[in-house]
Amino acid sequence: MRFIPHTPDDIRAMLEVVGVGSVAELFADVPAELRARAQVNLPPGVAEAAVRARLEALAARCPGAHWLSFLGAGAYAHTVPAVVDHILQRAEFYSAYTPYQPEVSQGTLQAIFEFQSLVAMLFDQEVANASMYDGASAAAEAVLMALRVRPKRRRVLVSRALHPQYRQVIATYLAGASEAEVVEIGFDASGTIARAALAGALDDRTAAVVVGYPNFFGVLEPLEEIATAAHAQGALVISATPETLALGAVKAPGSGGVDITVGEGQSLGGTLSYGGPGVGLFATRAEHVRLMPGRLVGETVDGGGRRGYVLTLATREQHIRREKATSNICTNQGLMALAVTVHLAAVGRAGLRALALANVKRAHAAATALCAGGRWRRRFSGPVFNEFVLAGSAAGAAVAAAQAHGVLAGLPLHAWYPELEDCFLVCATEMHSEADIARLVEVLQ
């Protein structure tokens, strides 16, 4: 990637505009002690190895640099093949901007087309787009789309076992949607949506039912049963998958009768990076394609019969009149979408399944070992992928004590679920060794 720094004249011009005489004067309000601590202290002309050693030494000073983490809750640590970064950092992709003159950006369009195809296969749906910020906003866009598909219905039933932050984003989006009503449905002993409560809430005012898959407790919802109940009342079903790697081992939501499927793609080639960036995945049935937000790249041939890619649908306000737009999304998260594409292409169908099953094995081994001591028990009975909820007395104190030993043992749930005061969420992936799990058990007993 080309990088053109500011010249001394550029800097001088900018300082003149803001009315200061030097860069040091610009940052004078920052305490001197903090400015001194920000110095990396690298002499000029140092060898690469020395630079790396210095930076690694600085990174090691971070209190959490060597902590053992079993946190998940929507952001998951996974192995990322080196080929992902290698392809991502090619200049034509790394510096590419959103294709406003799309047909001259054939490489970008092909990458988006391949991304859409893989997402559709992952969810077992007929069409997928490539314009979502992240899983939570994709879920909110799915709800808005369901209201367009069922324009005379304004009620949306949302499972309380859906990721709390997804629910917050949905509520924020719907705050601007006239007469839209969100009704939350509780969960049962299995950790899935309470079916009796769902059946009682479903009626001819319901546009959609939204569930997690897996949900926030790591539990897999019975999608077919939910879809049967919802469809009987003419409502759509939306599934949101924060941990998309799970789809390598479980039945795809599209084949379970789900109408709109969304997810967070960070697990597939992305890194945690302090929580972002993410990339939203969005797919649905072909009959709803014109009401789908974002944009869609299609494959075609030119006048000479040569394969080419075109921006087939773009129902965004940047392309059509604002009042006709299905959303005002203004990015395609192109680089992250490419990461997902490269990752899935690199591991293949069999590799994805093997990776997913490794997660299942680690998580179930951790749950069994933790419950064997008698202090902890599984809070929910439903099937899980790589996360599970443990219950036991003084759970918050135990998690805090584990942190004192350099282990992030899990996420206490009381902040979002007061009724789960003595519960915490644990995640184990292929990144955790048997020794790591033994260490977790040791600090929690």
Cβ-based neighbours of 165, under 8 Å, separated by 6 or more:
74, 136
Measured in degrees and rounded to the nearest 5, phi and psi for residue 370 equal -70, -35
What is the model's pLDDT at position 94? 83
Q: In what order do the strands lie in the sheet with 155-159?
A: 127-128, 280-284, 260-264, 236-241, 206-212, 155-159, 181-185
Q: What is the mean pLDDT of residues 342-351?
A: 96
What is the model's pLDDT at position 336? 92
pLDDT at 184 over 90: yes
Q: What is the mean pLDDT of residues 317-334?
A: 68
Q: Over the chain, what is the mean pLDDT?
A: 92
pLDDT at 213 over 70: yes
* pLDDT tens digit sequence for 252-272: 999 999 999 999 999 999 998
Q: What is the mean pLDDT of residues 239-250?
A: 97
Q: Which of 68, 62, 63 is nearest to 410 (CA)?
A: 68
Are 387 and 214 spatial neighbours (Cβ–Cβ below 8 Å)?
yes
Lowest average pLDDT, out of 10-19, 21-30, 330-339, 433-442, goes to: 330-339
What is the model's pLDDT at position 131? 78
Are 241 and 247 spatial neighbours (Cβ–Cβ below 8 Å)?
yes
Are 245 and 359 spatial neighbours (Cβ–Cβ below 8 Å)?
yes
What is the model's pLDDT at position 343? 97
pLDDT at 114 over 90: yes
pLDDT category at 1 given cuts 50, 70, 90 is very low
pLDDT at 153 over 90: yes
pLDDT category at 329 given cuts 50, 70, 90 is low
What is the model's pLDDT at position 316? 64
* DSSP letter (8 states) at residue 340: H
Angstrom distance (rounded) from CA 329 to CA 188: 36
pLDDT at 100 over 80: no
pLDDT category at 59 given cuts 50, 70, 90 is confident
Are 281 and 293 spatial neighbours (Cβ–Cβ below 8 Å)?
no
Higher pLDDT, 335 or 229: 229
Angstrom distance (rounded) from CA 68 to CA 405: 9
Orientation of helix 106-123 relative to helix 334-372, angle to 10°: 30
pLDDT category at 174 given cuts 50, 70, 90 is very high
Give the global pTM. Answer: 0.87
Q: What is the mean pLDDT of residues 283-311?
A: 92
Measured in degrees and rounded to the nearest 5, phi and psi for residue 197 equal -65, -35
pLDDT at 15 over 80: yes
- Can you say how many angstroms the Cα of residue 165 is from the centroid of all Cα atoms in its chain? 11
* First-to-final CA distance of the chain: 51
pLDDT category at 103 given cuts 50, 70, 90 is confident
Determine which helix (DSSP H) or strand (DSSP E) holds 357, and give its type and residue range. Answer: helix 334-372
